[in-house]
Structure 1
Amino acid sequence: MAEEVKLLKTWSSPFGLRAFWILKLKGVQFDFVDEDLSNKSPLLLQSNPVYKKVPVLIHNGKPISESLVILEYVDETWKQNPLLPEDPYERARARFWAKFGEDKVLVSIWNAFIKQGKEQEEAIGLAIETLKFLEEELKGKRFFGGEKIGLADLALGWLANLIGVFEEVIGVKLIEKERFPLLSAWMQEFAEAPVIKESWPPHEKLVTKFRAIREPYVAAAAQPK
């Protein structure tokens, strides 16, 4: 009997893109559903009753939630084109950088995106300091996974797209080639990889979406205190 693989995601979610990318890179046949999070489907609510969020991977009727968990599940289930290295130490390092991207990089850049005035300046400074760790990690490497895209690249891949969106919305350059030559080169090469390139959401549509997301933060900062 053929395997049934379904991915619940949204068109704009960087977390859903991770799951989409790994399935494509593995050559796994799957269906996907772009969920409307303002009107969540019964399938989503049933599949992820704890968080009620996307992405959710459903494999032969069994749901798996959380994008980093999905990445490892897919890598372990479909052995072709492995995304994690065989060496235990290198596997641990890949997991470390994936988690660092989640806990430090994403949080610091999001704060730079939503803050205003002096608080934004401080948040941008912290984001730049955080990004320096990624620049250092890329020394002597083409990708975080070495010579080919690995799990950490997929976990950090949103940088290659959303950074440009955030920079356009806030009018501040966060990743300059002069300061981050290796990270800039990685972003370009990752973004142009065939499976990655063909799946990016429309840039202008993302800009419109994130402008709308940011507006309440701007409005709140403008209120007298």
Structure 2
Amino acid sequence: MSRAERLLQLLQVLRRYRRPVSGQALSDELGVSIRTLYRDIASLQAQGAMIEGEPGIGYVMKPGFMLPPIMLGSEELDALVLGMRWVADRCDKTLSSGALSALAKIAAVLPAELHRELEESSLLVGAPLTRPTHTISPDLLRAAVRAEQKLDITYVNGAGIHSRRIVWPFALVYFDQSRVLMCWCELRADFRNFRSDRILSVEQMEERYPKKRSTLLREWRKFNQVASRTILPESDSIDR
């Protein structure tokens, strides 16, 4: 590992701590000597990093400090390019445009060598066998999730039975062949998943649901562990 990579890694480690962490703990995590750790911290402070503390007390980085342009390893760069290309190819126009824009911004701040490696990446995304047809805009579903607002939906299940539900959307799951809206369903008083291509109509209600989406997600994960369910586009976890 180069010194530049080590300094960047130190910054990333410090970002995880909200309270002062000892130099020894940092050196152990980074796999360097305590002398090297102290020298690296001094170098970062000299370069403007807002790191407070001293030997024997501990170190903490002030909130709001922005990391310099990230140096990526080959595997990290491959993962980034492949992920962005998957989103650009598989998702709706809004997310596709966002993925390409984000990739362009990252490419703009990479060193010349990494920029060339990004452009010449040979990890490609194959075309799906079929693409789902959505009556409802994914933008509307994502907006409801972000705003933590209830949705009034009309849904048709695999047997062709229609139902009307008031749901609390807290996540949207992307599969190659489908999208699944994860919700708390007021009708069932339980967690339910709805394939977005089977949602016939949707109205975003002004009323916000009474819990945070992060709370619902935690509760779903806990319930999922007990019930041994998985988020599959064709399973009993999808509402029928």
Q: Same fold (TM over 0.5)?
A: no
Q: Which has the higher strand share?
A: 2
TM-score by length of 1: 0.27
TM-score by length of 2: 0.26
